[in-house]
Amino acid sequence: MSAVSCSTASSSGGCGLRSQLKTCALPAFTSLNFGRTGPNSQSDRLSIHRLELVHGNRKARGTTICMTLVDERQSTGQKVVDPPRILAYDLVQGALVKWTWKEDKSVPDTPAAVLLHGILGSGKNWVSTFARRLAHEFPNWQFLLVDLRCHGDSASLKKRGPNSVATTASDVLKLVGQLRLTPRVLVGHSFGGKVVLSMVEQAAKPLPRPVRAWVLDATPGKVRAGGDGEDHPRELISFLSTLPKVVSSKPEVLNALIKEGFSNEVSQWVVTNLRPTGPSCSSFSWTFDLDGISQLYQSYEETNLWNFVENLPRGVHVNFLKAERSLHRWALEDLQRIHAAEELASEEGGGVEMHVLEDAGHWVHTDNPDGLFRILSSSFQVLRAWRCKRSTFCLFPV
């Protein structure tokens, strides 16, 4: 795999995170991020093999963003109107993926996987190394990394309905439909795991092809987060709500979190959600909507999807992964119900399976990335290309 070579220039004095412009050499795999477009923005577009793509989903402040696709059949001046933004996202593609419009139904759809973060996270939790590693090892796949509602760059997007697991799942379903992707693997960590289950539940019909869902360190029902001396998400959210919305420095927040008793690991992670409020970097604000996140976490605790897990539609295979050192308390009842559901697995690709990731706490993709990669790889090795015809029901309509 050749390294991605990127030069970065910022329009905000070097402090703007999402307003940075990237010009990249041709990599062995491609990360399709949005860029800035303007009257003289030709050199700012992201060059990717045969095409240039300027993606308008992570919109920088004060800029005009549109989607531009260029290949041998299109002129460099052709522009496609950016559709209404549903969620902010990144799309990481393997080297063998060819970006094509889906009007030609005779062409097999490129297999895609959706990776969802947990509470107080963002899509970048996956994109730094793990998604790129998947794209390198499985070059015919593409990986959609989403900022869920109230999180990251999606926090500024107005959403209808209550902030819940179900509405969050609906957002992602709408996004993959808009992008005309064909997800065959869904991976969700913690809160994102329940969102994955809700996504499949909302399209619960017998499926014409297998869909593999991965629920990482979460159960379908009651949330047993944290124990004595461990970080509890609800307590963390409550404490963050007492802090000013604008702070003078990241170390100030880091020290306050540690003083309150939260672990250094979690405290370091939380402050990654702070971004400069201006070019001088003299103050920082949160990237998330904390009120909305509080509502999401309450829904996460209250949502019970056991009935769905124990009555899966044909073609769905749900994999639960328990971290060996997880701060989440997996009750004996949870493990017994999952193992009972395993016995109902059919030869048609439907069923439930339990996995244990050794030497890992709740942050599975950072604690033991090699072990997680080996476990998840089975989904990309087993599933083969397929076509979703107009006359056949699809989990994610194209």
Residues 323, 381: one domain? yes
Residues 156, 249: one domain? no
78 within a domain of the structure (yes/no): no
Let me know the angle formed at the C-alpha of 111 by 163 and 317, rounded to the nearest 5 degrees.
65
**pLDDT of 213 over the 80 cut:** yes
Residue for token digits 């007492």? 242
Residues 145, 213: one domain? yes
Q: What is the pLDDT of residues 259-299, one digit of tens each?
A: 999 988 889 989 999 999 988 888 999 999 999 999 999 99
66 within a domain of the structure (yes/no): no
For residue 30 the two structure tokens come to 């491609």
14 within a domain of the structure (yes/no): no
What is the per-residue pLDDT for 205?
Answer: 63
What is the per-residue pLDDT for 225?
Answer: 65
Closest CA to 150 of 35, 262, 291: 291
CATH number at residue 98: 3.40.50.1820
What is the per-residue pLDDT for 107?
Answer: 44
pTM: 0.77
Q: What number of CA atoms fall less than 13 Å from residue 137's CA on the CB side?
A: 15
Q: What is the mean pLDDT of residues 335-346?
A: 79
Q: What is the pLDDT of residues 344-375, one digit of tens each?
A: 655 445 689 999 999 988 889 888 999 999 99
Which of 276, 293, 310 is a domain's end point? 293
Q: What is the pLDDT of residues 160-174, one digit of tens each?
A: 889 999 999 999 999
Which of 258, 293, 328 is a domain's end point? 293
194 within a domain of the structure (yes/no): yes
13 within a domain of the structure (yes/no): no
Q: Report how far residue 13's alpha carbon sits from residue 314's, in angstroms, rounded to the nearest whole number.
A: 54
Residues 180, 219: one domain? yes
DSSP 90-114: EEEE-TT-----TT-TTSPPPEEEE
Residues 211, 161: one domain? yes
207 within a domain of the structure (yes/no): yes
Length of the chain (residues) = 398
User: Strand 6-10 vs strand 20-24: parallel, antiparallel, or unpaired?
Assistant: antiparallel
**What percent of the chain clears pLDDT 70, i.e. is strictly above it?**
66
Cβ contacts of 156 within 8 Å, gap of 6 or more: none
What is the per-residue pLDDT for 350?
Answer: 62
Identify the band that residue 24 occupies on the pLDDT scale cut at 50, 70 and 90. Answer: very low
Which of 241, 270, 293 is a domain's end point? 293
Q: Report how far residue 350's alpha carbon sits from residue 312's, in angstroms, rounded to the nearest whole number.
A: 7
Residues 151, 201: one domain? yes
40 within a domain of the structure (yes/no): no
- In the chain, how many domains are there? 2
Residues 264, 171: one domain? no
- The whole domain housing 284 covers 233-293
**pLDDT of 30 over the 80 cut:** no
Q: What is the pLDDT of residues 135-149, one digit of tens each?
A: 999 999 999 999 999
Residues 265, 328: one domain? no
Whether the CB-CB separation of 312 and 347 falls below 8 Å is answered with no
Q: For residues 100 and 152, which has the higher predicted lDDT (pLDDT)?
A: 152
Closest CA to 82 of 63, 57, 60: 57
- Reported for 98-107, long-range contacts at CB under 8 A and 24+ positions apart, including other chains, are 98/50, 99/32, 99/48, 99/51, 99/53, 99/69, 101/180, 102/180, 102/398, 105/387, 105/389, 105/390, 105/398
Residues 209, 329: one domain? yes
Q: Report how far residue 352's alpha carbon sits from residue 10's, in angstroms, rounded to the nearest whole number.
A: 47
What is the per-residue pLDDT for 383?
Answer: 59
Q: What is the mean pLDDT of residues 61-77?
A: 28
- Whole-number average pLDDT of the chain: 74
215 within a domain of the structure (yes/no): yes
Residues 175, 216: one domain? yes
Residues 139, 197: one domain? yes
For the chain, first and last CA: distance in Å?
Answer: 31
**What percent of the chain clears pLDDT 90, i.e. is strictly above it?**
46
Q: For residues 224 and 205, which has the higher predicted lDDT (pLDDT)?
A: 224
Whether the CB-CB separation of 234 and 297 falls below 8 Å is answered with yes
Residues 119, 143: one domain? yes
